[in-house]
Each structure stands twice: as structure tokens, then as C-alpha cells.
Amino acid sequence: MQVTIDKDSGFCFGVVHAIEAAEKALREEGHLFCLGDIVHNNEEVRRLENKGLQIINEDEFNRLNDSRVLIRAHGEPPKTYAVAARNRIELIDATCQVVLKLQRDIAASYLQMKRIGGQIVIYGKKGHAEVVGLLGQTNQEGIVVSSIGDLDQVDFTRTSVLYSQTTQSVEEYGKIIAEMRRRYRNGGGEALFECHDTICRRVANRARQIQEFAVQYDKVIFVSGEKSSNGLYLFDLCRRINPQSWFVSRLQQLDDIPFAPDDSVGICGATSTPMWLMQEVADVLRSKQF
Ligand code: SF4
């Protein structure tokens, strides 16, 4: 079997930075809390837990005192920082710079919209950690839309500023923008609509790259955690271009795939997939007996 790992797959710089920050703190103290999964990949989470990382949820965070807590790349809403200040929690803030800029832009637009009676619209997945952080910049007043159907919540007689979660699909965001423009135009209020391209370039570029990669192989093994939005999105693109694509979260799942000895196999993954895991998948396939 000929096995190739996609050189463009693997952690994005935001995730690399968060993991490096966690590992540094773990080397210093041997223990660190992290608010939510540091990355949407169970294998990587387990590796860091073995070094002393402890994942906590919001309730557990609210009850903590005098501790060190890592904020992951997705970022957090302002209330998290307020709790930390109140409970003497030292934050190691690994919010990705791209997300941080988006939070600041939304916070500034929110103040502006407050003054003129406008609204903030966020295209993203309701309840996703990054979206919770973004919505927090609007005092929970922003409108989160996940599909065109959700646009009925928007008041098209008032000004809107539209932003996107950083890991959304460029094509789907384009459809939302086009539909909002159409509705404003129909009401004669084109000037009331402003939109911003806030999808992370690392994610946007991956869509094209992964399809160029997937089309070259007989079979594609897409390695990702099941909770990764970016993983589900990129896998869907792989499968569309190469129907012989499989989603794998654990090595054991490789046993269910009908490989042939002369198969060419491409291994790729999401921005939350560790390179070491793709390497392990490659090692298993290279040692396969037929
Ligand atoms: S996908 Fe982009 S925005 Fe999200 S953590 Fe990675 S680099 Fe940052």
C-alpha cells in the first residue's frame, strides 16, 4: 500500500499556541486547569491529561479559587474574565489572535449599534465555544444565525453588522450575505447592511487544499475528533470529491475499512488533528498484512 500524509493537515497556529502554553505551564507546575476541551480531539486531550491537564466545565470554573486556568484558542466571553478576577484565578489566555481581533471588532460594532438602534448578527454554530465568546461581546444581544431560515430573526428595517465565526464555510457564509443583501435591497435599505469577512484564512484555504489532496488517492483516511466543526466540514469536502473517504477518530476504526494491497491511501485531517495521530495511522497502514 502506498501511504501519504497531507503536509498541510494538522494543527493551526492557534491550536499550536494553546498546546504550547499548556505544556509550558505543565512543565512548571505539573497541573493545570483548562476551561473546556483544549482541542476537539480526544486523543490529544488524553495525551495532555496524562501530563496533568484537567479539563473543567463552566460550573467547575465558577467554583474555583486561587488557581491557574488556561483559556483555549476559541476564546471566552467577558464574564469568564470577571469570574477569574473575583475568584483570584490566574488566567493563561491562549485565545487565538484571529479570534481576539474578531471579539474586539464585534465589541466595537456592538457599542456603535447600541447608539443607533442597530443589531449585530453572527453567522455560526449556536452554543459553539467561539460563538459563546463572540456573543458575550454583545451582552447576549447579538443574533446568532446558523442557516438562511434563521434570518427571520433579523429586523431588516434596522441597521445590521454581520460577522462570521472563524471556522465556518466560505460558501455558506456567502449565501447568508447574499440573502441578507437581497432582503435589505427589497426593503430599499441597502445602506443599512454591513458585513465582514471574518473566516480564518487557515480554514478557508484548507477547503481548496484538502480537495486537491483527496482527489489524488484511491482511498482517503480523514483523521479527526467527532466534535470538531472544522473536521466535519473538511471531511464532507473530501467525500464530495472522493467518495472513498473514511472518517477515523481511533486506530481501531481502520479495521473496518476494506483496503486492497495496491491501494494508494491519502491521510489528512482537521486543524485540530495532531500530526502524531496521522503518523500513527500511517504506521498501522504501512504494516498491514494482506
Ligand atoms: S482555525 Fe484560525 S482562528 Fe481558529 S484557532 Fe486556528 S488559526 Fe485561530
Instruction: Note the pLDDT tens digit of each residue in 195-205.
Output: 999 999 888 88
pLDDT per residue over 47-83, tens digit each?
999 999 999 999 999 999 999 999 999 999 999 999 9
pLDDT mean across residues, the chain: 95
Which CATH fold topology does 13-96 show?
Rossmann fold (3.40.50)
**Picking from 70-84, 127-141, 224-238, which range would have the lowest pLDDT averaged per residue?**
224-238
Same-fold call for 2-9+202-286 versus 98-199: yes
Write down the pLDDT at residue 15. 93
Active centre residues (catalytic): 130
Contact call for residues 25 and 92 (beta carbons, < 8 A): yes
CA of 213 from ligand 1 middle (Å) equals 21
Would you say residue 230 has pLDDT above 90?
A: no
Which CATH fold topology does 98-199 show?
Cobalt-precorrin-4 Transmethylase; domain 1 (3.40.1010)
Class of domain 2-9+202-286: alpha beta
Residues 157-174 have a mean pLDDT of 94
Write down the pLDDT at residue 283. 96
Task: Indicate the domain borders of the chain.
Answer: 2-9+202-286, 13-96, 98-199
Pocket test for ligand 1, best of 8, 11, 13, 233 (most atoms within 8 A of CB): 13
CA atoms within 13 A on the CB side of 164: 22
The Cα 81–Cα 87 span in angstroms is 10
Write down the pLDDT at residue 59. 98
Atom number in ligand 1 closest to CA 166:
3
Write down the pLDDT at residue 229. 78
- Quick one: how many helices (H) and strands (E) in the chain? 10, 12
The Cα 262–Cα 189 span in angstroms is 60
pTM: 0.89
